[in-house]
Copies of this chain bind each other. A is one copy, B any other.
Amino acid sequence: MQPAAILESALYVTDLDAAEAFYGEVLGLERIARVEGRHVFFRCGTGVLLLFDAGATSQPPAPGARLPVPPHGTQGPGHLCFAATADEIARWKAHLEARGVTVEADFEWPPKPGEAKGGRSIYFRDPSGNSLEFAEPKIWGI
């Protein structure tokens, strides 16, 4: 047995309103759920991006809760990378900079044997300081 896919990826944010604006408006993701003070969720391809307030999710479920979701929650900057083509990465960089988002790093990975280019990554931050990336799937042979 082997998991076929990642369904949910999570990041923790310190300001849900700022996160919703950034992921929804700057990155253009489709919001699918929000619970005030706890989380905002977005659809991304065949997966879901969960943005949580760790102050809420680190509380254990109430005894006898109908949906006893176990507690979790981190502090500090996490990381997540979106897939993009080389053309899309160039357009994302221009889009982010036009919206005042600093592109913190921009480089090509070393090429694999027999390839001309290894694939490009750009890195930037969400409003909570999480390290986000756009990368070509070829960096992983995907």
Contact = CB atoms under 8 A, between A and B. Distances in A.
Contacts of A137: 7, 46
A6 interface: yes
Interface residues of A, number: 67
B79 A78 contact: no
Interface in A1-32: 1-10, 12, 27-30, 32
Contacts of A69: 105, 123
Contacts of A141: 32
Interface in A64-123: 66-84, 88, 91-92, 95, 104-105, 107, 109-110, 123
Copies in the complex: 2
Interface of A: 1-10, 12, 27-30, 32, 43-50, 52, 54, 57-58, 66-84, 88, 91-92, 95, 104-105, 107, 109-110, 123, 125, 130-131, 133-135, 137, 140-142
